[in-house]
Amino acid sequence: MLATPAPSPAETRDNAAFDALLWTLSRPGLPRDLPEPGEQSIVTALLDRECLVYAADPLLMPEIMRSGAELADIDKADHVFLGAMATSDPLADIAIGSDYYPDDGATVIIRANIGSGTALRLTGPGVDGAVTLQLEGLPVRFWKARAARLRYPMGFDLFFVDGARVVGVPRSTTVEEI
């Protein structure tokens, strides 16, 4: 009989990163911990040569290039790394998929501070009643720009990364600023 394969450090990290992403996307507004700070573990857990990626943050380029993913314009990309956002303009161009294939809507990763700043009230699937999420460092009209693009089931899914913490806001979540 074969010996049981042991996970490599890379496999362990990707598995833990995905576990955090899946947990926080299925429970919007509740942060989880990535195995290491920053977007790197998200890149290695999700991206490979089948992906089209747009990255606004040049510091992420080496990691993305290593994954083999192809760089693309923001309206074509299926994974969008916006870094710390100065304006909400990029949201206007992100791919939202189609009614036939909502999965063509992009996954968007943004840097923000979790736990301080504007309070948001989230409702929708994955939320037991309502949950309050505080995010700081987003441009002023961010949530209005998101609402303007969403045509459920078309839309894009957001992950906010703060150091090693990550919080997900899928397209199915209704966000109110309070």
- Would you say 157 or 162 has its CB closer to another protein? 157
- Would you say 142 or 159 has its CB closer to another protein? 159
Q: Name the minimum Å distance from CB 74 to another protein.
A: 18
SS (H, E, C) the chain: CCCCCCCCHHHHHHHHHHHHHHHHHHCCCCCEECCCCCCHHHHHHHCCCCCEEEECCHHHHHHHHHHCCEECCCCCCCEEEEEECCCCHHHHHCCECCCCCHHHECEEEEECEEEEEEEEEEECCCCCCCEEEEEECCCCCHHHHHHHHCECCECCEEEEEECCEEEEECCCCEEEEC
- Would you say 35 or 90 has its CB closer to another protein? 35
Q: Name the minimum Å distance from CB 40 to another protein.
A: 14
- Would you say 9 or 178 has its CB closer to another protein? 9
Buried b (16+ CB within 10 A) or exposed e, 3-13: eeeeeeeeeeb
Q: Name the minimum Å distance from CB 116 to another protein.
A: 26
CB atoms inside a 10 Å sphere around CB 161: 22
Binding residues for another protein (CB under 8 A): 1-8, 10-12, 14-16, 18-19, 21-22, 25-27, 45-51, 66, 78, 98-103, 105, 107, 124-128, 152-153, 155, 157, 170-172
Q: Name the minimum Å distance from CB 86 to another protein.
A: 26
Q: Name the minimum Å distance from CB 20 to another protein.
A: 11
- Would you say 113 or 172 has its CB closer to another protein? 172
Q: Name the minimum Å distance from CB 9 to another protein.
A: 10
- Would you say 11 or 177 has its CB closer to another protein? 11
